[in-house]
């Protein structure tokens, strides 16, 4: 249980909570990852932690705006169309995280984070936590599901 009286507005507070909650799954084996949501419970977070993560993400997006990116480094992974599938995202991030020499993932997310899967919120939380933790090596692009409806 999280103490609501803690300084929730400290830099990256929610990012660290969410990252540390997902990290055991990211370090898990393929056999363990397939049990997520069945045998192993998916992390759940209080509303104020989710709201704080969104605030941290918005702060980082405005602090590090990326209208155009130039990749001068090899080793980037391009990930697209997660569509709310937390198992696929965990598999992908686990592979990338474990293969990176310094445990600093280099990922370009192509959008379409939500929609069809049952865990759209969890997918967004993990991607936001990754972006906030590694703003120089994780890129989030918008897909057609990330645009507001008119």
Q: Rounded distance, CA 10 to CA 94, Å?
A: 28
Q: Which of 32, 108, 145, 146 is catalytic?
A: 145
| Interatomic CA distance for residues 59 and 67, integer angstroms | 16
Q: Is 145 a catalytic residue?
A: yes
| Per-residue model confidence (pLDDT) at position 117 | 74
Confidence class for position 146, pLDDT limits 50, 70, 90: low
Q: Do the beta carbons of residue 139 and residue 125 sit within 8 Å?
A: no
What was the pLDDT predicted at 70?
79
pLDDT of 9 strictly over 50: no
Report CA torsion sign: 31, 88, 114, 65.
positive
65-117 confidence digits (pLDDT tens): 777 777 877 788 889 888 888 999 999 999 998 887 777 888 888 877 888 87
pTM score of the predicted model: 0.85
In the CATH scheme, what architecture does the domain 13-67+74-146 have? 4-Layer Sandwich (3.60)
Decide if 119 contacts 88 (C-beta within 8 A): no
């Amino acid at each position: 249980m999280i103490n609501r009286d803690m300084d929730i507005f400290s830099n990256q507070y929610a990012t660290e909570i969410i990252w540390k909650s997902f990290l055991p799954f990211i370090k898990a084996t393929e056999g363990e990852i397939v049990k997520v949501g069945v045998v192993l419970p998916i992390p759940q977070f209080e509303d104020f932690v989710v709201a704080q993560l969104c605030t941290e993400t918005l702060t980082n997006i405005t602090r590090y705006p990326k209208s155009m990116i130039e990749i001068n480094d090899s080793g980037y992974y391009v990930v697209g169309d997660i569509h709310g599938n937390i198992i696929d995202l965990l598999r992908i991030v686990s592979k990338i995280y474990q293969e990176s020499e310094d445990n600093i993932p280099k990922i370009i997310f192509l959008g379409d984070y939500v929609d069809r899967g049952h865990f759209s919120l969890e997918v967004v939380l993990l991607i936001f936590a990754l972006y906030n933790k590694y703003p120089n090596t994780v890129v989030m692009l918008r897909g057609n599901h990330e645009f507001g409806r008119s």
